[in-house]
Amino acid sequence: MVKTHRVKLFKIFLLFIISSTLLFSGVNILKKVEITKGELRLEFKDFLPKKQIKHFALKNPPREVFDFKNTRLSKKNIAKNIKNVKIAQYKSNIVRVVVSSHKPYSCTPYKPILSLKTYHIPLPKGRNALPAKRYKKPKAKAKAKEKTKKVKKIAVSSSRSHKQELIVIDAGHGGHDTGAMVGGKKEKDLVLMIAKRLEKQLKKRGHPVYMTRKRDRFLKLPQRTKIADKKNAVVFISIHANSVPKRKRNKIQGVETFFLQNTRDARSQRIAARENKSVLKGTSKLSRSVILDSVLSGPKIVQSNKLAIDVHRRMMTNLRSRYSGVKDGGVRHAPFWVLVGASRPSILVEVGYISHPKERKRLFMPRYQELIAKGIAEGVDIYLDNRKKEIDF
């Protein structure tokens, strides 16, 4: 009895500690923003610890980004229309300040010694500063027109922003490595057909594309992802088709999109093991374990997951709009070695099961292939749009 009483007391004590820290760790507020002596000066309500500031630069166009954690924008209208500067409540507890310029410049922000609550950010100077945008208030009658114009403008700018972003398409297998083989059909041929259609779809949308293989040839694992890194691709997409042993042939079908991560799911493990077989040939045990480490700590897992979701969704929607009974195998993760070396968002699409009689037939139809390719391309664009929004707001 005494013991339980003590435990109770301890629990109350804990609750007290937790609630009091919650009460006292108040959210900081960005109160005021002004430009003085070529600097953007931010004034906060409370002391601003350095830990709460994250500063990084982005390219194309050059931007200096500052995230102030645990901070909110003041409800008063602080100057938001400053030349070259965007300020917004990026997340519920993060204020983001973005400074744009013509060319990258050395931006060394600082906290003035005498004030603990302010933060100064040097702005780009002279010609490096972008021209101020003029905003004309639309007349009431013209407002509706303005709205449609705006929508168009957004569409144009988003496709433009993707133009320089290279996408690497990797048609799985090739050469002596046929991949799955059923009913006289080979995975390596099917995936090359779809990869070529995807290439066209992406180019149509303005993306430069690089194909790891354009014909029937074998490529070692490191060659595939190294290309993506060397070319500084924005995403890496590997195309494969699935297969199961004879006794399951009529049962298992569907589209699956994978991103790289280790898994305990037995089915995902089996699929990965089958795809890994050829690429692992000749890889030493030591380099395998080095690779495995990078799988488990892969920094691109979150982005790859997002990419996989967007691509998968569009593929399913497109296929189901024309074909009935297409099975949704979902977005999954598995340790695919082909994705390991890629230091960018990477996915592996299993377009379907060539072991399933009905699905195999469809997979070799040009119209079906086109829907897959279009779905992947649309998904990539959606992903890139969302990612851009994350950075730009």
- Please state the closest distance from residue 124 (CB atom) to Zn ion, in A: 49
- Please state the closest distance from residue 272 (CB atom) to Zn ion, in A: 10
175 contacts: CB under 8 Å, gap ≥ 6:
188, 216, 217, 218, 219
Instruction: Please report whether residue 185 would count as binding Zn ion according to CB under 5 A.
Output: no
Choose between 38 and 183: whose C-beta lies nearer to Zn ion. Answer: 183
Q: What is the largest CA-CA distance in the chain?
A: 78
- Residue with the two structure tokens 């040939």: 281
Choose between 279 and 319: whose C-beta lies nearer to Zn ion. Answer: 279
> Which two tokens mark 294?
């990078």
> Which of 172, 254, 298, 345 touches Zn ion by CB under 5 A?
172
Instruction: Please report whether residue 170 would count as binding Zn ion according to CB under 5 A.
Output: no
Q: How far from 118 is each of 44, 221, 237, 356, CA to CA, in Å? A: 6, 51, 45, 65
> Which of 240, 333, 356, 374 touches Zn ion by CB under 5 A?
240
> Which of 179, 254, 345, 379 touches Zn ion by CB under 5 A?
179
Calpha distance 60→76 (Å, rounded)? 32
Calpha distance 128→15 (Å, rounded)? 54
Binding mask 31-50 for Zn ion (x = CB under 5 A): --------------------
Taking CB under 5 A as the binding criterion, the range among 44-52, 177-185, 222-230, 357-365 that sits at the site for Zn ion is: 177-185
**Bridge-based pairing state of the strands 53-58 and 28-36:** unpaired
Choose between 235 and 338: whose C-beta lies nearer to Zn ion. Answer: 338
Choose between 274 and 387: whose C-beta lies nearer to Zn ion. Answer: 274
Residue 127 burial (CB count, 10 A): 9
Taking CB under 5 A as the binding criterion, the range among 75-83, 151-159, 179-187, 297-305 that sits at the site for Zn ion is: 179-187
Residue 279 and residue 174 in contact, taking contact as beta carbons nearer than 8 Å: no
Instruction: Please report whether residue 275 would count as binding Zn ion according to CB under 5 A.
Output: yes
Q: Which amino acid is at 134?
A: R
Least Cα distance to 53 among 127, 119, 130, 145 occurs for: 119
Least Cα distance to 349 among 327, 325, 331 occurs for: 331
Using CA atoms in the order 247, 253, 259, 265, what is the torsion angle rounded to 10 degrees?
Answer: -40
Question: In the complex, which residue's CB is closest to Zn ion?
Answer: 240
- The DSSP secondary-structure symbol of 138 reads P
Choose between 98 and 228: whose C-beta lies nearer to Zn ion. Answer: 228
- Please state the closest distance from residue 14 (CB atom) to Zn ion, in A: 52
- Please state the closest distance from residue 231 (CB atom) to Zn ion, in A: 22
Choose between 172 and 298: whose C-beta lies nearer to Zn ion. Answer: 172
How many residues form the binding site for Zn ion (CB under 5 A)?
4
Choose between 174 and 298: whose C-beta lies nearer to Zn ion. Answer: 174
- Please state the closest distance from residue 375 (CB atom) to Zn ion, in A: 19
- Please state the closest distance from residue 378 (CB atom) to Zn ion, in A: 23
Residue 78 and residue 24 in contact, taking contact as beta carbons nearer than 8 Å: no
